[in-house]
Structure 1
């Protein structure tokens, strides 16, 4: 069972992703509402996968991705963002994201993306 950290500033989105993953072979080990918390939770929980929103307060997802990659170069981070963020998604891939999912998404899309990791 893969252990997942969900990072999104919207509680509804975290709850939605948690619900989708719980129906499959994933264990949600933690949640964070901004990039700063994501980095701390990553150190604490050492999840197998992180779903990371791009636009968040305090520290955005791209900066959090870079910080997590400094801690663990092999970290599996999948960016989750709204339409219109294509340029930032490309930047995330350059920084080492393993993939990206565009909101709104269906359960089978996120499950398929995370199952590949």
Structure 2
């Protein structure tokens, strides 16, 4: 079981991800609605895994990913975004994301990505 921080600007998406993770045996320890909140939550909660949307206000997911990896180079981050474009996937993985889940997603795919990040 992993302690997970879920980050997405859409409340319904945070709920979908959180529900999938909880049903899969993981504990959602926090949520954030933008990248700036994600970095602050990451600092205070020290999650095992963080899911990050890419397109968000204040600070996008790629900026938040980079900031989180400065705080903890071993951080496990899974990107979740409707932007399934090859360039964004490649940029996320090169920046240090462990996996990338394209929305709309199946709950099992989120669990697979989190489990892969923990491996």
Q: If the TM-score is normalised by the length of the shorter chain, which range does it land in?
A: over 0.9
Report the secondary structure of 1:57's partner residue. coil
Q: How does 1:41-80 map to 2 (within 5 A)?
A: 41-80=41-80
- Equivalenced residues, count: 117
CA RMSD after TM alignment: 0.9
* Residue matched to 1:13: 13
1:99 corresponds to which residue? 99
* Structure 1 match to 2:114: 114
With structure 2 as the length reference, what TM-score do the two structures score? Answer: 0.95
Q: Unpaired segments of 5 or more residues in structure 2?
A: none
Whole-angstrom distance in 2 between the partners of 1:3 and 1:115: 12
Shift, 1:86, TM fit? 2.4
For residue 84 of structure 1, report the CA deviation from its aligned partner.
4.2
Q: Which runs of 5+ in 1 are unaligned?
A: none
- Deviation of the 1:83 alpha carbon: 4.3
2:28 is paired with a residue whose SS is strand
SS at match of 2:97: coil
> What does residue 89 of structure 2 align with?
89
Check 1:97–1:58 CA distance in 2 against 1; reply closer, same or farther (3 A cut): same
Is the Cα contact below 8 Å between 2:54 and 2:83 reproduced in 1?
no
Which TM-score applies when normalising by structure 1?
0.96
Deviation at 1:112, TM superposition (A): 1.2
Cα distance in structure 2, aligned partners of 1:49 and 1:84 = 21
